[in-house]
């Protein structure tokens, strides 16, 4: 009897968790749809005319009108939005107004470059942040803790563009160790590609390292104040053993949550960093298209970045629910 009750409770818990995850996913899809409306409306409310911006002020009214008809700008805004959204749902982001290239092909290449930069940053930043947080708690209140706190708070205070130009000044212009322009190509060897992204990767590491390490430190310190830590001390366990075996497993939920949220932030931070280092990623593609008033490209890039940010935040919620069972209940 008790075994059947336990099995029913476990099955019911899994069903509840699956239902909560599905609700989160449905809410995320609705949010992406709302963002697509805001992106389209915001770009279409910008002053000026797209056809005039492409042809220039010296264009004749007839040529401007012909281009408007060709681009479908004479159609109602609602029809243009539904036409664009229908293409996006089929994987067709349209044609660039300036280069006449297929946006989907260029978007995929640029997105792979952005994901490579963000992934390389995560590989460096996550272990480094966990190590800094762990060492700070181990030597809490000492000079090592104070020195690491000074470093992480300074990293948090530095804007990405400032730290990027500072790294260029030191490692490119002064020491001439690394290139200032991070130009990567599809056929580059892995080591050459890693060397090319070293400076933008370091800039992004500085952007997320301080927040992740500070939150790791705070989560470990909060778990260290629990009663089971006092019991472990009375048993004669070493401070490092207590941190590793008892404190860290109970602090994983907030640590994982802040790591995933910072990974989501990376997808936004790359826009600035890619333009500082002229890195051929999605952010640089979007900024270049803004200057050219290439509306379909800007819409597509903004939608992809927003969707990735929303999905990573949803992933953080799901991971937090899996790591902390108390979040699965309303009370």
The CATH fold of domain 77-328 = MetI-like fold (1.10.3720)
Phi-psi region of 293 (alpha: psi -120 to 50; beta: other; left: phi over 0): left
144-192 confidence digits (pLDDT tens): 888 888 888 888 788 888 888 888 888 888 887 888 777 777 777 888 8
Quote the CA–CA distance of 47 and 57 in Å, as a whole number.
14
314 vs 28: CA distance, rounded Å: 7
- DSSP letter for each residue of 245-279: IIIHHHTHHHHHHHHHHHHHHHHHHHHHHHHHTT-
pLDDT band at 47 (very low <50, low <70, confident <90, very high): low
pLDDT at 9: 45
More confident residue, 47 or 279: 279
Residue 1 has pLDDT above 50, yes or no: no
Q: 10 Å Cβ neighbour count for 140?
A: 15
Distance in angstroms (rounded) separating the CA atoms of residues 87 and 95: 11
Query: DSSP secondary-structure letter at 326?
Result: G
- Give the number of C-alpha atoms closer than 13 A to the C-alpha of residue 155, restricted to the C-beta side: 22
Residue 281: C-alpha distances to residues 77, 110, 195, 269 (Å)? 30, 4, 16, 12
H helical segments located in 45-102: 50-55, 61-71, 77-89
Confidence check: pLDDT of 98 > 50:
yes
* Partner residues linked to 102 by β-bridges: 95
Residue 8: strand, helix, or coil: helix
* Residue 10 clears pLDDT 60, i.e. is over it: no
Using alpha carbons, list the distances in angstroms from residue 186 to 111, 175, 192, 294.
12, 28, 11, 25
Residue with tokens 């942040």: 129
What are the pLDDT digits (tens) for 182-221?
777 777 788 888 888 888 888 888 888 888 888 888 877 7
Contact residues for 144 (Cβ-Cβ < 8 A; gap 6+): 135, 136
* Phi, psi (rounded to 5 degrees) for 102: -70, 120
Give the integer Cα–Cα distance in Å for 289 and 96.
Answer: 9
* Among 15-19, 40-44, 179-183, 189-193, the least confident range: 15-19
Q: Is the per-residue pLDDT at 327 higher than 70?
A: no
Give yes or no for a contact between 117 and 279, defined as CB atoms under 8 angstroms apart. Answer: yes
Burial tier of 283 (Cβ tally within 10 Å: 0-12, 13-18, 19+): buried
Quick check: 20 pLDDT over 70? Answer: yes
Largest CA distance in the chain: 88
Query: Is 121 exposed, middle or buried (CB count within 10 Å of its CB: 0-12, 13-18, 19+)?
Result: buried
Distance between CA atoms of residues 1 and 251, nearest Å: 36
**What does the block give as tokens for 244?**
């590793």
């Amino acid at each position: 009897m008790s075994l059947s009750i336990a099995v029913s409770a476990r099955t019911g818990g899994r069903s509840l968790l699956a239902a909560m995850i599905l609700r989160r996913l449905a809410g995320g899809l609705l949010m992406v749809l709302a963002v697509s409306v805001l992106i389209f409306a915001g770009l279409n409310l910008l002053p000026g005319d797209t056809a005039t911006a492409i042809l220039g002020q010296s264009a004749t009214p007839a040529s401007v009108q012909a281009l408007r008809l060709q681009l479908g700008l004479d159609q109602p805004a609602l029809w243009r939005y539904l036409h664009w959204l229908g293409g996006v749902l089929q994987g067709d982001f349209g044609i660039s107004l300036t280069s006449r290239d297929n946006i989907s092909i260029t978007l995929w290449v640029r997105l792979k470059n952005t994901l490579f930069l963000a992934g390389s940053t995560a590989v460096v930043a996550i272990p480094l942040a966990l190590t800094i947080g762990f060492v700070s708690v181990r030597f809490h209140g000492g000079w090592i803790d104070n020195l690491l706190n000074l470093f992480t708070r300074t990293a948090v205070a530095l804007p990405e563009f400032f730290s990027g130009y500072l790294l260029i000044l030191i490692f490119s212009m002064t020491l001439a160790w690394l290139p200032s322009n991070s130009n990567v190509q599809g056929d580059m060897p892995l080591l050459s590609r890693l060397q090319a992204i070293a400076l933008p990767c370091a800039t992004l590491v500085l952007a997320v390292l301080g927040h992740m390490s500070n939150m790791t430190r705070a989560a470990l310190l909060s778990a260290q104040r629990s009663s089971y830590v006092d019991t472990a001390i009375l048993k004669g366990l070493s401070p490092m053993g207590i941190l590793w075996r008892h404190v860290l497993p109970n602090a994983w939920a907030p640590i994982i949550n802040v790591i995933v949220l910072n990974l989501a932030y990376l997808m936004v931070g790359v826009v600035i960093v890619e333009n500082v280092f002229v890195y051929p990623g999605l952010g640089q593609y979007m900024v270049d298209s803004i200057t050219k008033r290439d509306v379909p490209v800007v819409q597509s890039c903004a939608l992809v970045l927003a969707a990735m940010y929303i999905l990573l935040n949803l992933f953080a919620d799901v991971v937090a629910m899996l790591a902390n069972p108390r979040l699965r209940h309303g009370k």
